[in-house]
């Protein structure tokens, strides 16, 4: 059987209606490792993340998503969150009428099954905002309402720090951010990683963020499958040459 993977996705096949999006995908991440997932637009990277969280828009026709020996495909999203899985969405949704603080307290109460102490909670929120270079007014802002692209991503990182996940899916956290915001975001993730050693899957189009966040492996996704797995040099090659040139010859179907 070999290694014990914390996250093991086996033969995952997913449809949206009658459209095949994920096609027999296999992916394994060891405990506490950081892996990157790259691939052209429309190959199913975001869908994979949403399916891990059990988004009802998708039907799993085949396969398993094992996390700590639990099959997430058979679990409700709230229970998946209880298993300390966290998705930072590519396009974080705005939720009018609900503040960050309200949502985070409700969610923490829900996933821990305990009432969160308001004093410690507020103190931690203040600290997290300071760490992320967010004004403390963000604590009571409506979730993502009227926030810039960069602020939204940091706002989602605030949620990550408060919910304390062990499996973190970062879907294009660097897209649309300026250089300083990318550094803030990467520093925050690196600090979280050094404190808690979570397992991380980071989806990106740019090698830049992988210079700042050291992924041990890079997977390439193409039309719903992982077609190659390598180290960071692969991300560099893609940045320089583009996907088409890098994966020119007969699709590169074998894993390195």
Q: Which residues in this chain contact ligand ADP in the complex, by CB under 6 A?
A: 16, 19, 21, 39, 41-47, 57
Q: Which stretch binds Mg ion (CB under 5 A): 39-47, 53-61, 75-83, 177-185?
A: 39-47
Say which DSSP state 203 is in: E
Span from 21-29, 88-96, 97-105, 226-234 in contact with Mg ion (CB under 5 A) = 88-96
The encoded tokens of residue 188 equal 């925050």
In the list 28, 43, 46, 89, the residue contacting Mg ion (rule: CB under 5 A) is 46
* Stretch of 45-53, 101-109, 135-143, 231-239 contacting Mg ion, by CB under 5 A: 45-53
- Choose between 47 and 144: whose C-beta lies nearer to ligand ADP: 47
Give Cβ neighbours of residue 115 (< 8 Å, ≥ 6 apart).
109
Tokens 């700590």 belong to which residue?
68
| Residue 100 site contact among ligand ADP, Mg ion, none (CB < 5 to 8 Å, cut-off depends on kind) | none
Tell me if 101 sits within 8 A of 125, measured CB to CB. Answer: yes
CB-wise, 45 or 159, nearer to Mg ion? 45
| Cβ contact 88:32 at 8 Å | no
Q: How far apart are CA 51 and CA 224, in angstroms?
A: 13
Q: Which residues, in sequence order, are bridge partners of residue 38?
A: 220
Least CB distance from residue 152 to ligand ADP, whole Å? 17
**3-class secondary structure, 124:** helix
Smaller CB distance to ligand ADP: residue 122 or 223? 223
The minimum distance between CB 47 and Mg ion, in angstroms, equals: 8
- State which residue, 16 or 103, has the beta carbon closest to ligand ADP: 16
Q: Cβ 88 to ligand ADP, closest distance in Å?
A: 13
Report the 10 Å Cβ neighbour count for 107: 16
Based on the shown chain and the rule CB under 5 A, indicate whether residue 190 belongs to the binding site for Mg ion.
Answer: no
Task: State the Cα–Cα distance between residues 94 and 118, nearest whole angstrom.
Answer: 24
Task: Specify burial of residue 193 (Cβ count, 10 A radius: 0-12, 13-18, 19+).
Answer: middle
CB of 39 to Mg ion, least distance (A): 9
Residues at the interface with Mg ion (CB under 5 A): 45-46, 90
């Amino acid at each position: 059987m070999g290694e014990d993977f914390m996250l093991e996705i086996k033969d995952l096949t997913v449809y949206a209606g009658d459209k095949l999006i994920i096609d027999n995908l296999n992916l394994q991440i060891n405990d506490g490792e950081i892996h990157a997932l790259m691939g052209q637009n429309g190959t199913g990277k975001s869908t994979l993340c949403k399916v891990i969280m059990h988004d009802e828009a998708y039907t799993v026709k085949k396969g398993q998503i094992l996390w700590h020996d639990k099959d997430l495909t058979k679990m409700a999203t709230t229970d998946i969150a209880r298993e300390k899985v966290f998705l930072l969405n590519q396009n974080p949704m705005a939720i009018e009428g609900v503040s960050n603080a309200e949502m985070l307290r409700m969610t923490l109460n829900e996933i821990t099954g305990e009432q969160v102490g308001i004093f410690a909670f507020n103190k931690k929120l203040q600290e997290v905002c300071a760490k992320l270079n967010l004004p403390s007014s963000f604590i009571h802002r409506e979730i993502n309402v009227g926030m810039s692209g960069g602020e939204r991503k940091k706002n989602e990182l605030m949620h990550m720090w408060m919910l304390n996940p062990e499996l973190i899916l970062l879907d294009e956290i660097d897209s649309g951010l300026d250089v300083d915001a990318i550094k803030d975001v990467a520093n925050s993730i690196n600090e979280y990683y050094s404190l808690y050693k979570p397992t991380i899957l980071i989806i990106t189009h740019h090698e830049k963020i992988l210079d700042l966040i050291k992924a041990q492996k890079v997977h390439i996704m193409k039309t719903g499958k992982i077609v190659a797995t390598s180290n960071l040099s692969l991300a560099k090659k893609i940045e320089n040459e583009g996907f088409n040139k890098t994966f020119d010859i007969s699709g590169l179907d074998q894993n390195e």
